[in-house]
Amino acid sequence: MSSFGPSLRDQSDVDALERTPLVERLEFPVSSYAAIVRQAARTPRSIAITFVPTGDPNDGEQRYDYTTLSTRVTQVANALHALGIRREDVVSYMLPNLPETHFVLWGAEAAGIVNPINPFLEVDHIVGILSAAGTRVLVAQGRQAAPGIWEKVEALRTQVPTLTTIIRVGGTDVCPDWAQDFDTLLARQADKPIFTPPAADGSDVASYFHTGGTTGTPKLARRTHFNESANAWAVACAVDLGPQDPVLCGLPLFHSNAMMVTGLAPFSVGAHVVLLSDSGYRNPKTQGAFWRSVQRYRATLFSAVPTVLSALLNVARDGVDLRSLRFAICGAAPLSPELFQRFERASGLKLLEGYGMTEATCVSSINPRDGERRIGSIGLRLPYQEIRIVDLGSNGEIVRECEVDEIGTLLLRGPYVFSGYVKASDNKGVCLEDGWLNTGDLGRRDASGYFWLTGRAKDLIIRGGHNIDPAMIEEGLMRHPAVEIAAAVGIPDGHAGELPIAYVTLRAGASVSAGELLAHARSAITERAAVPVHVQVLDAMPLTAVNKIFKPALREKAIAKALIDTVHRVCGDTAKVDVEIRPHPKLGLESHVSVVLANSAERDALIAQTEAEFGRLPVHWVARWSAA
């Protein structure tokens, strides 16, 4: 992979990079397999992966150099080829963050198409994804002390018509006769490829990624080797990543962020990836040892979501040398300006907030590493990626380009944008004319080329970086005999970004409490993350002129509730609160909070604490205080 050249300070630097065609910046063959093999040839003994099994480096580690990584990936691809996997066949995996996960991920892309599965999904949902992908081989973690992945494999193994082979990675018991043991299978493989590698121009499909959220109907995004290799180059360029960089990985490897930002991008330049336990940031020991891990590995970069940044602020940093850290990349969920500033002050590193989506491989925009980082923005577009803010018509057609700072729908086009969903009908309204991708997000572009998200046209709720389809919440509540209509949206939250909240109207003559509905939701909604934190009964549901539920009005209700609840939590229920949410030409929405609070010795402290709590919410607000 070629040198990234000059600094990235502003839009003119992005434009300057684009004067050289992208194909001249990528090394051929263009594929993840070719990139790993190239690095093994260049730096065979350099460390590619360090695995920290417990999350604490004091407990030990396992190291794999680039020769070993290349060899294991080749052996996995050879094994899959021997099992009949060819270029258009799908290999799915249900694995935590193990070294073997990287061997399987890139080996499956080398021989066929990889389909990572979130192992925390319910069995029926996993069956739907495996079936939609046409999975032929499933690789999964074997039985562990606590029930988990393998028990789900046992439940689903006969429910996927195309599934021919199950490969078990590890496990505490004997491998059953209906599965093959991973280590035994690899031991029989040559270390030179017997499979046909992906096309040199990167045109072959590399991966299917499930994008329907943690609930709802599966939608599989189809990405090519060119998509992934080009985006890996762009990510490495954006953060000036090179062979000198140790990168910490704590996000799950079934997610595109971890796969690209702490996977293919560093492997493409010979960097060192440190896997912080098999469960990453979910592991309390990983979080407790995080800053010591930075010091131990002289880490320069990590990627996280806002909930992780918030948790890391509570981990002691005294006496730990963090000078190696240059950047933290944050995306996937709203990041409040208060958390941004608090984290930078505490850690001393630069926080690069960006924007991406699975359908555009991973990252599409990011704040410039060498220039002004505008808090609250998603930064400048990546080189070679086009971003437009447009006014869309009622049928999804592009009507016109929005003016500077005018809010519209954010569209993407470029080498990182996928070739569509596997199911053609899923592309309607998403894949627009001339190759443009409708993100479903609302935003604006300022005069300097920075992009700002102002809301979402699509309905997904993003809880701590995980997508939740509101349809499952609504369908679960609608099964209650008293409910006539149900609608779910996200309520702002200082830790998770947003949490699900539901609004319902009742059938004529019916009576039920919010508490009873919440109890029903807990039993009717199988995904724990999708269970709403609150259910509110409305006299009437806000509707559009054509009688569709008008969710923007519900989102405003949720914002107001979050602000009112914050005041009452800090100041007590005697405080009188009014929230008016107004449209703002640049921010999208601005919440005007009026609070009547009695005079007391603690009044100033209560006001300061309340506004600090407001600052943690991903909303724009103005507060006015008056005395009772």
Instruction: Note the pLDDT of residue 474.
Output: 87
Lowest-confidence range among 389-393, 429-433, 584-588, 605-609? 584-588
The DSSP line for 375-401 is TTS-BEEPTT-EEEEEEE-TTS-EEEE
With vertex at residue 356, the alpha carbon angle to CA 491 and CA 534, rounded to the nearest 5 degrees, is 15
Angstrom distance (rounded) from CA 398 to CA 389: 10
Instruction: Note the pLDDT of residue 215.
Output: 46
Is residue 400 within 8 Å of 420, Cβ to Cβ? no
Beta-bridge mates of residue 114: 91, 207
Q: Which amino acid is at 251?
A: L
pLDDT tens-digit profile of 86-144?
A: 999 999 999 999 999 999 999 999 999 999 999 988 898 899 999 999 999 999 999 99
Residue ranges of the alpha helices (H) in 385-530? 470-478, 514-524
Domains of the chain (ranges, CATH numbers): 11-443 (3.40.50.12780), 461-541 (3.30.300.30), 557-627 (3.30.300.30)
Which of 511, 492, 491 minimizes the C-alpha distance to 501? 491
Which of 463, 500, 452 minimizes the C-alpha distance to 337? 452
570's tokens: 């800090």
pTM above 0.85, yes or no: no
Average pLDDT, the chain: 92
Beta-bridge mates of residue 180: 167
Is residue 398 within 8 Å of 392, Cβ to Cβ? yes
Is residue 596 within 8 Å of 560, Cβ to Cβ? no
Angstrom distance (rounded) from CA 255 to CA 436: 23
Statement: residue 165 has pLDDT above 90? yes
